[in-house]
Amino acid sequence: MSNRKSAKGQPAKKKEANALWGGRFTTGPAALMEKVNASIGFDKALAPQDLRASRAHCTMLVEAGILSRKDGHAILKGLDQVEREIAAGTFTYTPALEDIHMHVESRLAELIGDAAGRLHTARSRNDQVATDFRLWVRDAIDRLDADLRALQAALVARAEEHAETILPGYTHLQAAQPVTFGHHLLAYFEMFDRDRGRLRDCRARLNESPLGAAALAGTSYPIDRKATAKSLGFDAPMANSMDAVSSRDFALEFMSAASIAGVHLSRLAEEMVLWASQRFRFIGLSDAFSTGSSIMPQKRNPDAAELVRAKAGRIIGCLTSLLITMKGLPLTYSKDMQEDKEPTFAAADQLELCVQVMAGMVADMKVNKEAMLAATRQGYLTATDLADWLVQELGMPFREAHHVAGRTVRIAEQRGVGLEDLALADLQAIEPRITAKAQRVLRVEASVARRTSLGGTAPSRVKAAVKQARRRLGQA
């Protein structure tokens, strides 16, 4: 068989096997294999975590007497140099070295020679990547918690400002009962508080160290897994070496929590889109969080809110992709799991951006109190207040009171007026026992003021809820 020729007619050079794992192989991978196998394009994001875990592993090897102090010192010094190069942007990445772990080891070998090869004693890329990935997700959770707290703080500030601002509350997107805008905003405070709780729960469960599990079965070296776990801020080593290298439920749980948070952001974004529309005019967004039209000069589009709404779908899609990847994998590690990082990185990045944008929009929006109050004159929002008055003052069964209030609404609708505009005689024609006191409860201001039950919309309750929220945020 003749030698394969290069494009210039010369014999093509045979690829050498990878220097870091090629002992079993005589030639290197095909170009397409190299392309599909490489993950450095995205997993270079793990560099800070990889360096941190390598330092912890190196220190433990020295303390356990597995590695000489001389080699340990050289390795730590070399890792410091690698870190400086990465920070300065001078570090060279190449697909041939596949991932961040091999890049660090290869550069370390260039810097310190044979001692670099001893760093990989008693570990595998399997436990190495599992450790780095858990550290990365933990760091992402800490950043997101701070961002969500800032969003909550923005909501609380606006809720305090609008504790007495009245607007329609909706069910089925139909005007239902009057509420205060502060109360409405604090509903999202609670949602985002639960999001933070889910992320904290996820962090607590993932905070165990895979390092030392090696490829899947542990190692024969006398390593100290508790020492490396403690050094990296983990609560303990993972109890089972096979579970340690093959589990990605921490990433799935993280993206599940991220997806729920994304849905909450999307719901608030949708409301802002509605509120900013000409039909509602409840809020206005400044130039900072809106865009114009290329053809219609009068337009101001709530694009920031629309993009937050859309990006929730991307976050959910990231979760779905990893769920599907993991669903059929036997223990322990399979290369399929290289596909775990891109969706996790993307979900974290998108959620972090969306939370920051939403905090900006909440602080930025201009609230149109007049439009909100005017909207409460449509939809007969105090009909339930009339039914409640009939029960409380006349002892009428609620179902009967519901029917009386419904007939009152029909009369007002026929006359094209609000419930508060009906004369006492109109009310007494439906139920003779109604008195002038009933007319006072038909005003929206009276309606919201009376909703003083725990968790209710009354301004007094909103102000108390704001104080409690500030305490929960550590602001009190």
C-alpha to C-alpha distance for 306 and 273, rounded to whole angstroms: 7
C-alpha to C-alpha distance for 117 and 167, rounded to whole angstroms: 68
C-alpha to C-alpha distance for 111 and 315, rounded to whole angstroms: 40
Nearest to 55, CA basis, from 31, 26, 29, 76: 76
Nearest to 378, CA basis, from 449, 284, 279, 450: 279
The residues facing 11 across adjacent strands are: 5
C-alpha to C-alpha distance for 120 and 75, rounded to whole angstroms: 11
Radius of gyration of the chain (CA): 31
Catalytic site residue from 68, 277, 293, 460:
293
Check if 293 is active-site: yes
C-alpha to C-alpha distance for 248 and 337, rounded to whole angstroms: 8
Check if 172 is active-site: yes
Residue type, 182: G
Q: Rounded to whole angstroms, what are the CA distances from 319 to 252, 253, 257, 316?
A: 6, 9, 10, 5
Catalytic site residue from 2, 172, 294, 453:
172
Our measurement of the distance from residue 302's CA atom to the centroid of its chain's CA atoms, rounded to an integer in Å, reads: 21
Give me the active site residues, please: 172, 293
